[in-house]
Structure 1
Amino acid sequence: MGSRFTGRVALITGAGTGIGAATARLVVAEGGKVVLTGRRPAPLAEVAGPLGDAALALPADAADGAAMAAVVAEATERLGRIDVVVANAGGHGLGTAAETTDEGWQLALDANLTSAFVTIRAALPGLVDGGGSVVLVSSLAGLFAGPAVAGYTATKHALIGLSRSIARDYGKHGVRSNVVCPGWVRTAMADEQMDRFGESRGLSRDDAYALLTENTPLGRPADAEEVASVIAFLASSDASIVSGAIVTADAGASAVDLPTIELA
């Protein structure tokens, strides 16, 4: 592996599974240290264990401003700095607008938008001092609308606005901010969705993934490691001139003109 993160520290939310865990492993493999946060201690410990002294697990609710301020303070005290924030925590927001309760709407806001905002806000003083980088993990739902996911769609769209605001306001301090929009990715959360969808159609998990990605140009879902590679690029000096960008990691799905699918 390379050494793009030697001497650098990345704070990753939602780090216990999926894209967050894969990103942590990649950063460490390339010489960096990671601060892993999420609400469940056990998955964080499972990810941190093999990474040894290069990983610091600090369980917290990423949507709790005070908790994330404490995480940033402890991480800075113990590791000396935070150079990168990967705002990866997310979830919730199922249902149409009419079906979404006030509680459901707030859950979507907290999980997808507030979690990113309060984490980045807490880390910004250190990022400004060191000319750091922010990567927010949105979704194709940040660009388009799927069926019956009003809260998820609205909050994933909002992450793009947050990233652009950070890029605009803090670029003069050397801080970069970018967004990754994955399509279907093989993660524990997506596996659960595939299992539910597959059960309704009499399909296995693999067949469900295949059906839902058959009209993408690459015709398959991503692995978490593939999305982690995109995040690592944006977070590293390889992307030193990239800020305010939206990078899709969607097997080409966003390049498809839906009304022409039947012509293929």
Structure 2
Amino acid sequence: MKPRFEGRVALVTGGGTGIGAAAAARLRDEGALVYVLGRREAPLDAVAKATGAIALPADAADPAAVRNALARIVERHDRLDVVVANAGGFGIGAVADTSDDDWRRACRANLDTAFVITREALPMLIESRGAIVIVSSIAGLAAGPEAAGYVTVKHALIGLTRSLARDYGRCGVRTNAICPGWVRTEMADDEMRTLMAARSIPTLDEAYALATRDVPLGRAADASEIASVIAFLASDDASAMNGAVVVADGGATIVDVPTLAFADPSPR
């Protein structure tokens, strides 16, 4: 079969690690010419070396930096077909414990990055009738404990997805969101280490097992599994999908929490 992205150009923000790096690898495997954008050069260079992607060091929340990065893409290829708005992080803490700086950092890292990159890329995407995939989270659907900034901005990303889909669908630009649950990434590993310290858990594997104890699949996803959903949403196979919010969480958000006390903890 012909690779789904042959001849197409894709840009992945937060492309140096985790889901972004996996998405870049998947899009490259399927024939795309991929640019990975992020603030840290070393991880971007590592992804570029491993996948054949092209590193674009820049802050996705900085309009001038994004315009410069997109100008490089236009100069080289005169097109852009796919944007994966994946940059994110920060926002841990309950409302009363969240400083103004922490709040602004969460908004900038998650929401501003997606807003700026999509706004600046829209003229190119309209021309190519391209696709946007915004990486939200199941934190965009429900609230976890003491993560007010992260929960709020991940909810906002779904609103951004729907606004883009509503306003630019008639221009041929499809915008969809993916909401992953626990995914084994460097960022999630750090959260697991916090859990390990709080519960005296000796290993990362055991911490992930506890965190996913009530997830129907009983495990965290691999970043490559999320990347496969991103590639689908960006491809022509999803040509009728616009404004969709696709959940990839192993079934976590279908669980009826008040009935957990009645659940048999043993695998069937």
TM-score scaled by length of structure 1: 0.97
Helix, strand or coil at the partner of 1:91? coil
Amino acid at match of 1:64: D
Q: 1:27 to 1:2 in 2, by over 3 A?
A: farther
Match among 100, 103, 108 for residue 102 of structure 1: 100
2: distance between equivalents of 1:144 and 1:169?
Answer: 26
Instruction: Name 1:22's counterpart in structure 2.
Output: 22
Instruction: Name 1:45's counterpart in structure 2.
Output: 45
Alignment of 1:109-128 (within 5 A): 109-128=107-126
2: distance between equivalents of 1:263 and 1:237?
Answer: 43
Helix, strand or coil at the partner of 2:97? coil
Structure 1 residue 236, shift from structure 2 partner: 0.3
Structure 1 residue 79, shift from structure 2 partner: 2.5
Gaps of 5+ in 2: 264-268
Amino acid at match of 2:58: A
Structure 1 residue 65, shift from structure 2 partner: 1.2
Amino acid at match of 2:9: V
Instruction: Name 2:213's counterpart in structure 1.
Output: 214
Amino acid at match of 2:133: V
2: distance between equivalents of 1:115 and 1:21?
Answer: 17
Instruction: Name 2:227's counterpart in structure 1.
Output: 228
227-236 vs 58-67, which moves further? 58-67
2: distance between equivalents of 1:212 and 1:188?
Answer: 16
Alignment of 1:84-233 (within 5 A): 84-203=82-201, 204-233=203-232
1: distance between equivalents of 2:205 and 2:182?
Answer: 12
2: distance between equivalents of 1:184 and 1:50?
Answer: 24
Amino acid at match of 2:186: A
Is 1:70 the counterpart of 2:68? The answer is: yes
Describe the superposition over 1:167-190 as per-residue Cα deviations: whole angstroms up to 9, x where unpaired: 000000110000000000000000
Helix, strand or coil at the partner of 1:121? helix
Structure 1 residue 2, shift from structure 2 partner: 5.8
Amino acid at match of 2:156: A
Instruction: Name 2:78's counterpart in structure 1.
Output: 80
- Over aligned residues, Cα RMSD in angstroms? 1.0
Instruction: Name 2:36's counterpart in structure 1.
Output: 36
Helix, strand or coil at the partner of 1:11? strand
Describe the superposition over 1:85-134 as per-residue Cα deviations: whole angstroms up to 9, x where unpaired: 00000001111111111111100110000000000011000000110000
Amino acid at match of 1:232: A
2: distance between equivalents of 1:205 and 1:62?
Answer: 31
Identity of aligned residues (%): 59
Amino acid at match of 1:198: M
Describe the superposition over 1:139-191 as per-residue Cα deviations: whole angstroms up to 9, x where unpaired: 01000000110011000000000010000000001100000000000000001
2: distance between equivalents of 1:50 and 1:94?
Answer: 32
2: distance between equivalents of 1:219 and 1:241?
Answer: 32
Number of residue-to-residue matches in the alignment: 262
TM-score scaled by length of structure 2: 0.96
2: distance between equivalents of 1:175 and 1:37?
Answer: 21
2: distance between equivalents of 1:56 and 1:208?
Answer: 35
